[in-house]
């Protein structure tokens, strides 16, 4: 290649580079001038969860930084909007970003409660599938198992706390972690989830499951070894109860190894 051709090729490369830089600068300048024309919200949630919706979250976006429609995308504080949305107790996560067509995108995921804890003083809260506490919502009640009894769990009207990762010392005299473990096991099985809408926990942490049908009470202890105990109960339902009248029993006790102990209902 001759020296002249080499110089021409180098000049062409430099020229193309300069044109690309100019084009990028132009695009960036135009991007700074783009104003938000629409807020587009996508809310992910289980089918039965309705704590919030797209319209409510649009209002929350404006609460975070002021009205965003008409604001230059270059002036948007998307981090502040995300921080505000993630502080909403019913949301597990939120992501905010804009596109060059002037659309501000919000993607949010609702928490999925699996149990409602009702304290002895009437206060209460939810616990979601991942172990986060959630305050009750004045506008919506989730259809989940309710746990009542001599409880004084301190998570009502407080910001969410993760029961799974919190220090063990926090639970020395509390039962929320055991309640979550029990409810998670129950909720993973459609049969048990439909059968047990309520549980009662006494002051010692002993749990009794209350079926939605019938008058039996199912004693499961402190919730440990629950999978094995429910397996015994399933076998008893399949093989024991068909041989007799299940209405004759007042209590089924699963706390003993390899046994199902039934207490008969008093005859009147």
Task: Name the pTM for this structure.
Answer: 0.82
Q: Bigger pLDDT: 31 or 131?
A: 131
Q: What burial class does residue 159 get, using C-beta atoms within 10 Å of its C-beta: 0-12 exposed, 13-18 middle, 19+ buried? A: exposed
Task: Name the pLDDT band for 22 (thresholds 50, 70, 90).
Answer: very low
Please say if the pLDDT value at position 27 is more than 50.
no
113 close to 144: Cβ distance less than 8 angstroms? yes
Q: Which of 16-20, 92-96, 228-232, 237-241 is predicted with the least confidence, judged by mean pLDDT? A: 16-20
Please say if the pLDDT value at position 243 is more than 60.
no
Residue indicated by tokens 């039996």: 216
Q: What burial class does residue 14 get, using C-beta atoms within 10 Å of its C-beta: 0-12 exposed, 13-18 middle, 19+ buried? A: exposed
Distances (CA, A) of 232 to 52, 135, 159, 203, 256: 40, 35, 39, 26, 10
Query: Domains of the chain, with CATH numbers?
Result: 38-110 (3.10.20.310), 113-264 (3.40.50.11690)
Q: Which of 9-18, 27-36, 177-186, 206-215 has the highest mean pLDDT?
A: 177-186
């Amino acid at each position: 290649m001759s020296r002249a051709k080499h110089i021409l090729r180098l000049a062409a490369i430099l020229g193309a580079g300069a044109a690309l830089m100019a084009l990028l600068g132009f695009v960036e300048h135009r991007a700074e001038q783009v104003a938000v024309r629409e807020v587009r919200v996508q809310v992910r949630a289980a089918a039965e969860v309705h704590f919030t919706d797209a319209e409510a979250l649009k209002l929350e976006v404006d609460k975070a930084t002021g009205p965003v429609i008409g604001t230059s995308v270059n002036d948007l504080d998307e981090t502040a909007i995300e921080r505000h949305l993630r502080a909403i107790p019913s949301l597990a996560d939120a992501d905010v970003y804009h596109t060059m067509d002037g659309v501000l995108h919000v993607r949010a995921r609702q928490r999925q409660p699996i149990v409602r804890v009702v304290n002895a003083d009437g206060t209460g809260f939810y616990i979601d599938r991942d172990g986060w506490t959630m305050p009750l919502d004045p506008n919506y009640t989730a259809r989940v198992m309710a746990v009542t009894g001599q409880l004084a769990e301190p998570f009502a009207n407080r910001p969410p706390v993760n029961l799974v990762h919190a220090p063990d010392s926090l639970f020395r005299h509390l039962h929320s972690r055991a309640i979550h473990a029990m409810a998670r096991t129950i909720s993973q099985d459609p049969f048990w989830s439909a059968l047990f809408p309520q549980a009662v926990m006494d002051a010692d942490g002993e749990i009794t499951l209350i079926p939605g049908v019938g008058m039996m009470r199912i004693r499961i202890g402190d919730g440990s070894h629950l999978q094995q105990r429910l397996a015994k109960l399933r076998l008893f339902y399949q093989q024991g109860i068909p041989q007799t009248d299940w209405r004759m029993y007042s209590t089924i006790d699963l706390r003993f190894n390899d046994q199902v102990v039934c207490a008969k209902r008093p005859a009147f």
